[in-house]
Amino acid sequence: MKPLSAEEHRVASFDGTDLAYHVVGDGLPILLCNGLGGSWRAWSHQIRYFQDRYRFHSWDYRGLYRSGPPADPEALRIADHAADAIAVLDDAGVERCAIAGWSMGVQVALELYARFPERVASLVLVNGVAGQPWNTVMNLGFLGDVLPPMIRGIAAFPRIAETVTRRVVAMPEAVQWAKRIGLASKTLDEEIFHELASSFGDLDMGVYLRILERLGEHDATRTLDDVDVPTLVVAGDRDLFTPRAAAERIARRIDGAELLVVPGGTHYVCVEYPELVNLRLEKFFRERGYGRGTEASQTG
């Protein structure tokens, strides 16, 4: 399959951080909030399906991939990423749009709504939680006490972490092991996985791990009660990182939220069951009024 191509743009964020963002498609705007370590290419199936009707915007989180690091090495909070999203939308001339978040991107999307609700037309929350993610991993609450010090310990030796990461992602059998132990479904798109894995190996693990620490500290649970835009929550029933129960809690807290649980899906439903996800997204946007004919109210 021919690789997708996107326009790359650059913008200085609120604190001067140099951000790279990518734009592809034509129509109503959708902002993609990626998972940690992911890029816009993780959404390839969704972009291909919708690019004749929607214009996708996505940015590389500060310090990762094509975006530069912040001057303040601690400015890697979820709130900082939400502010970066506004810089991207402003530069692209988008006043209001649908927001789709995957994994960490769910927390970014909810933080974005909490701070700038007037910019959000609807929410799609995929394989994520509202906050404090370590408390939900495998539904084992005690990991919230165990994982943070482990992450800090690894972060003290970023070069070792980079070496190990590069060796693991370079292993041709890595995806097969992920499937065998239940981290990914047998239907996982291996081409996209390998593409993402190869670029992941080049990340600055020091920045990555600091973002991971800040991610664990974030909590937008209270925001759920205030969300008053159409919301679709998507989960996999075999997701070990952000279990189905976490998605169900989000859907219950947001008034009128819709929930799709993908049978057999893990943390990567968008590249495991893309046809099912795309059809459900299409239905959601059509029935909740985010389609052709509403462009004028979304862009400047």
Strands (E), the chain: 7-12, 18-25, 28-33, 54-59, 97-102, 120-126, 231-236, 258-262
Please, what sign has the CA dihedral across residues 203, 209, 211, 215?
A: positive
CB contact at 8 A, 64 and 203: yes
Residues 77-136: tens digit of each pLDDT = 999 999 999 999 999 999 999 999 999 999 999 999 999 999 999 999 999 999 988 787
> Average pLDDT of 8-36?
98
Which residues fall within 8 angstroms of residue 8, CB to CB, at 6 or more apart? Answer: 20, 21, 22, 66
Q: How far is CA 156 from CA 37, 147, 150, in A?
A: 19, 14, 10
> Average pLDDT of 164-184?
68
Arch. (CATH architecture) of 7-294: 3-Layer(aba) Sandwich (3.40)
11 pLDDT higher than 70? yes
Residues 152-164: tens digit of each pLDDT = 676 665 676 566 5
> Average pLDDT of 58-84?
97
Q: What is the pLDDT of residue 296?
A: 44
Cα separation of 76 and 61, whole Å?
A: 9
Q: What percent of the chain has pLDDT over 70?
A: 83
Nearest residue to 204 via CA among 73, 85, 80: 73
Strands (E), 35-151: 54-59, 97-102, 120-126
pLDDT, averaged across the chain? 88
Query: pLDDT band at 189, cuts 50/70/90?
Result: confident
CB contact at 8 A, 81 and 60: no
- Higher pLDDT among residues 17 and 146, named by residue: 17
CB contact at 8 A, 277 and 50: no
Domains of the chain by residue range = 7-294
- The distance in angstroms from the start CA to the end CA of the chain is 35
Q: What is the pLDDT of residue 297?
A: 44
**Helix (H) or strand (E) segment spanning residue 127:** none
Residues 238-295: tens digit of each pLDDT = 999 999 999 999 999 999 999 999 999 999 999 999 999 999 999 999 999 998 656 5
